[in-house]
Amino acid sequence: MEALEVVGKSVARVDGKDKVTGRATYGYDLVLPNMVYGKVLFSTRPHAKIHLLNVEKARNHPGVLCVVTGEDAPWTWGEAVKDTPFLANGKVRYVGEPIAAVAALDEDTAQAAVGLIEVEYEDLPAYLDAEEACAPGAFPIHEDYPNYRKEQFVNPHTSWPNICEHFKLRTGNVTQGFKESDLVLEERYRVPKIGHAAMEPHSAHAQVDPASGRVTVWVANDAPFRALHILSEALGLPQEQIRLINPFQGGGFGSKGGLKVEPIAIALAYRTNGRPVRVKFNRPETFSSTITRHGATVTIKSGVRNDGTLMARQVTIYWGAGAYAEKSPTVCIRGSLPSPGPYRIPHVQVDGYAVYTNEAVAGAFRGYGIPQTAWACEQHTDELAKRLGIDPLEFRLKNIFVDGDLTYWGEKLQNVGLKETLLKATEGIGWGKASNGSFKRKGVKIGRGFACILKPTRTPTTSTALVTIDASGVATIMAGTVEIGQGCSTILSQIAAEELRIPFEMVRMHPLDTDVIPVDASTTSSRSTYHMGNAVRLAAIDAREKIAKMAAAALGSSDDNLKFSNGNVLLKAGPPGVVSIAKLILDNLGTEGKVCGKGSYTFELGKDLNSNDGHSEHASAFYMYATQAAEVAVDEETGRVRLMRVVAAHDVGKAINPASCVGQIEGGLVMGIGAALHEELIVDRKGKIRNPSFLDYHLLTSLDVPEMTCIIVECPEPLGPYGAKGLGEPGLAPTPAAIGNAVANALGTRIYDLPLTIERVYWAIQSMKKKSPQVQLTGAS
């Protein structure tokens, strides 16, 4: 095999210049000719019947084109459960739910008209806690749940109220396993709801052509083909009657899939006589009325032998789904599946419950459930080691997955880079060595900790791509992967340039438009480098083979005597001969001619999880492994946790672009540290989010970011392009648990609830000192 030329190199991002110079047009920036402006009336009640909805005054307000309510937009959508109305129809289920929308000639007029809409509510019992919502006798949030249409994989719990998914994993017999253990420990951990806080808030532009009825939506959606499918299903339109165009996306982290602002824009666009409608959410609306990450309560019980052998583990998770199912069933399934952690355990039982509540809808969030369960599992694992008097590193080395292990869900693992990440991250933080003591102050305790994870990817899925080369030698990739900021355009361009052996600068990405781009499952689940990378690679090879045939004829040689290099085709042996790819295309296909290569990739071994026991021989196309380690300085007088250093080791299979990998890891760390120390959506007793702005929802500033060391581990995946796996999500998954373990190491006491705010840590220290339960700390039982 020839040496790689551009794959594996840290080439500069192809979208970098446009973004830093402000030329890139994001969804939020879009201006369409003749467009009108939509504004929304949101519910102020967590759970209520709409007694009266009077829009007459708004309709008659000068400058208003139309007002729409649930009656005017009688459509329902859902990815797993078809439970979500475009606009509330007769009932609201959370504060922030869209009830009605106005389109007007300008934004202020639309907002003024929204203020003229009269609503009367009849309050219903509201649930802001998942466990209360599924307790016996709880009032149903969706009375019609049994009758909703659902995807096949949805497994509702029939006897409990408000459960929209119950995931079960059964391996061995945990009761037996606990009996055979020397130590059994049960703990309960909690993770709050948090916001995605993408730099660009949500927006959608929609237009309905009055003549053809064709719907066009301009939206930064991370899965335009899935959105197309959902819309077609909801509106009862054939897919060719709907078109999605993706402008640049200013981040998403899972918040921009499915439908968010799209239904509102479409509902209005049906009544503006062909004029496009813009609906933009501001920051508070984005926090309250799009989606959040699932809050979760995780009860974890383990049995271990004195020698550190894990015998049994039982995990019960309540996922707060919010008012609508959205992606909750799959977050529950794929987040609960590996919740016992990357360990060999003979007896395992997992019950994951996604529970409807009267809170903002929870959905996909970078990591898809793994960060929540890792917070519990990895701290719990440290606690077990501590109680056994075994070093946590040694404890993990004894129990972690290695090549050839059979997982508790019945899959035989190969190409497991976990051990290497564990060794490198702990070495990087100086595990077992004395601290440098870079932060010395009286009352400041230094601690270290680490955590490791395994993350599956959505399986099975398909990616399809075209690679065309024109008569000037420029290659264009047509791929449905969305540039959400993760750097896919650069990675895919590198792969095409590699296979065609043309200069990297000669590769272009075609803008994403569902009318012309071949189908791709989604830009989610860290799946793109592997799946779309494979598809683009196959498409480039297909194109290369077509060019090779032309070159063979032109140079009078056989196919196997050709070598591609720097945009040319050369003869390997015999008399010298060379011809450029551009000339071949020009001579064979004319000035407008193009060679078109096609590629498609599906992980064909992939099998759905068995709904009875949660087992699958191939639950994921590949697995991502990571270990992160942290050193903290905890100020005992104030409760402040100051992060001194973080070391993150990630198994990426093969780094297509190492700089891009480091960028992903660093970005993940910053998000993970935020979730560990600051982030929480605070919901009051009336279901309203109290901190829906960056004033009181704290993201890290550059001054809050510690020294970060990113270590790339390459344990190749044979089916991945050049051995690549995925990387997008794991960056933040083990971070809070690593910090939690470091804090416990520093203080000698463990904190079970996120985030580790200054105040929570302060009271934990006080209660440890006084040994009185002054603060709500769900402790070990």
Partner 1 sequence: MKRPEPFEIYRPTSIREALQIRQTKGAGGYFQAGGTDLVIAVKEKGLVPKYVVDLKKISPLRVIREESDGSLRIGALVTMRELETSTLIRNRYPFLAQSAAEVGSVQIRNRATVGGNVANATPSADVAPALLVLDAEARISGLHGERSVPLAEFFVGPSKTVMMQSELLTEIVIPATHGVRGEYIKFSPREMMDLAYVGVAVALVFESNDKTCSRARIALGAVSPTPIRARKAEAILHNRVLTEELAELAGNEAATECSPISDVRSSAEYRREMVRVNTKRALLNVAAHITEPLRWIERRDRKY
Contact 630, 446 (CB under 8 A): no
Q: Among 638, 749, 767, 778, which residue interacts with partner 1 (rule: CB under 8 A)?
A: 638
Closest separation between CB of residue 606 and partner 1, Å?
A: 43
Size of the site for partner 1 (CB under 8 A): 26
> What is the C-alpha to C-alpha distance for residues 396 and 25, in angstroms, rounded to an integer?
47
- Is 704 among the residues that bind partner 1 (CB under 8 A)? yes
Dihedral of the alpha carbons of 222, 227, 228, 230, in degrees to the nearest 10 = 160
Neighbours of 717 (CB within 10 A): 24
Q: Do 69 and 92 meet the contact criterion of CB atoms below 8 Å apart?
A: no
Verify binding: residue 767, partner 1, rule CB under 8 A. no
Query: Does 160 participate in binding partner 1 (rule CB under 8 A)?
Result: no
**Binding status of residue 617 toward partner 1 by CB under 8 A:** no
- CA dihedral 503→504→506→511, nearest 10 degrees, is 160
Q: Map residues 492-531 to x or -, x wherever contact with partner 1 holds by CB under 8 A.
A: ----------------------------------------
Subset of 271-330 contacting partner 1 (CB under 8 A): 282
CB of 341 to partner 1, least distance (A): 30
What is the spatial distance between Cα 457 and Cα 471, in angstroms, rounded to a whole number?
39
Beta strands 347-356 and 163-171, pairing class: antiparallel
The b-or-e profile of 281-295 (16+ CB within 10 A means b, else e) is bebbbbbbbbbbbbb
31 lies in the site for partner 1, by CB under 8 A: no
Q: Does 229 bind partner 1 (CB under 8 A)?
A: no
Judged by CB under 8 A, the chain residues 199 through 228 that form the site for partner 1 are none
In angstroms, the CA 352 to CA 183 distance is: 24
Among residue numbers 538 through 567, which ones bind partner 1 (CB under 8 A)?
none
Sign of the CA dihedral running 488, 489, 492, 494: negative
Closest CA to 641 of 753, 748, 755: 755
Stretch that binds partner 1, among 47-55, 185-193, 475-483, 635-643 (CB under 8 A): 635-643
Would you say 111 or 580 has its CB closer to partner 1? Answer: 111
Nearer to partner 1, 92 or 641 (CB): 641
The residue among 460, 165, 152, 189 whose CA lies nearest residue 332 is 165
Residue from 2, 137, 695, 772 touching partner 1 (CB under 8 A): that is: 695
Compare residues 382 and 679 and give the one whose CB is closer to partner 1. 679
Closest approach, Cβ 766 to partner 1, in A, equals 8
The angle that helices 392-399 and 370-388 make with each other, rounded to 10 degrees, is: 110
309 burial (CB, 10 Å; 0-12 / 13-18 / 19+) is: middle
The answer to the question of residue 637 lying near partner 1 (CB under 8 A) is yes
Rank residues 59 and 283 by Cβ distance to partner 1 and give the closer one.
283
Residue 435 and residue 630: Cα distance in Å, rounded? 12
- Contact segment (CB under 8 A) with partner 1 among 261-269, 386-394, 497-505, 700-708 equals 700-708
Q: Is 701 in the site for partner 1 (CB under 8 A)?
A: yes
Rounded-to-integer distance, Cα 521 and Cα 607, Å: 16
222 vs 285, which CB is nearer to partner 1? 285
Provide the mask over 55-94, with x wherever binding to partner 1 is found by CB under 8 A and - wherever it is not. Answer: ----------------------------------------
> C-beta of 283: minimal distance to partner 1 in Å?
9
- Contact call for residue 691 and partner 1 (CB under 8 A): yes
Residue 296 to residue 308: CA distance in whole angstroms: 28
Using the rule CB under 8 A, is 757 a contact of partner 1?
yes
Are the C-beta atoms of 670 and 705 separated by less than 8 Å? Answer: yes
Instruction: Please count the other Cβ atoms lying within 10 Å of the Cβ belonging to residue 250.
Output: 19
Min dist CB 701 to partner 1, Å, is: 5
Return the percent helix, strand and coil in the chain, to nearest 5: 30, 25, 45
- In the complex with partner 1, the residue whose CB is nearer, 282 or 472, is 282
Q: Extract the tokens encoding 453.
A: 């994870």
Say which residues have a Cβ less than 8 Å from residue 44's Cβ, sequence separation at least 6.
95, 121, 688
Question: Minimum CB separation from partner 1 for residue 222, in Å?
Answer: 26
Query: Inter-axis angle of helices 262-269 and 224-235, to 10 degrees?
Result: 50
Q: What's the CA gap between 50 and 68, in Å, rounded?
A: 15
State which of positions 106-125 bind partner 1 (CB under 8 A). 107-108, 111
The answer to whether 44 contacts partner 1 (rule: CB under 8 A) is: no
Taking the complex as a whole, the smallest distance from the CB of residue 708 to partner 1 amounts, in Å, to 16
- As measured in angstroms, the least distance from the Cβ of 107 to partner 1 is 8
Say how far apart CA 336 and CA 350 lie, in whole Å: 7
- Which CB atom, from 15 or from 704, has the smaller least distance to partner 1? 704
Looking only at residues 666 through 685 of this chain, which bind partner 1 when binding is defined by CB under 8 A? 677-678, 682
Q: Which of residues 498 and 679 has its CB atom nearest to partner 1 in the complex? A: 679
Stretch that binds partner 1, among 116-124, 207-215, 663-671, 753-761 (CB under 8 A): 753-761
Q: Which of 700, 708, 768, 777 binds partner 1 (CB under 8 A)?
A: 700
Q: How far is the CB of 640 from partner 1 (least distance, A)?
A: 8
Separation in Å, CA 451 to CA 605, 647, 688: 30, 11, 34
Cβ atoms of 304 and 384 closer than 8 Å: yes
Among 5, 388, 762, 767, binds partner 1 (CB under 8 A): 762
Shortest CB 695 distance to partner 1, Å:
7
Shortest distance, CB of residue 178 to partner 1, whole angstroms? Answer: 40
Strands 215-218 vs 444-456: parallel, antiparallel or unpaired: unpaired
Q: Does 696 bind partner 1 (CB under 8 A)?
A: yes
Q: How far is CA 541 from CA 88, 468, 496, 719, in A?
A: 50, 11, 8, 16
Identity of the residue, 176 or 638, whose beta carbon is nearer to partner 1 in the bound complex:
638
Nearest distance in Å: CB 83, partner 1: 31
Distance of alpha carbon 237 from alpha carbon 72, whole angstroms: 17
Please report whether residue 339 would count as binding partner 1 according to CB under 8 A: no
Contact positions vs partner 1 (CB under 8 A): 107-108, 111, 282, 637-638, 640, 642, 677-678, 682, 690-691, 695-696, 698, 700-704, 757-759, 762-763
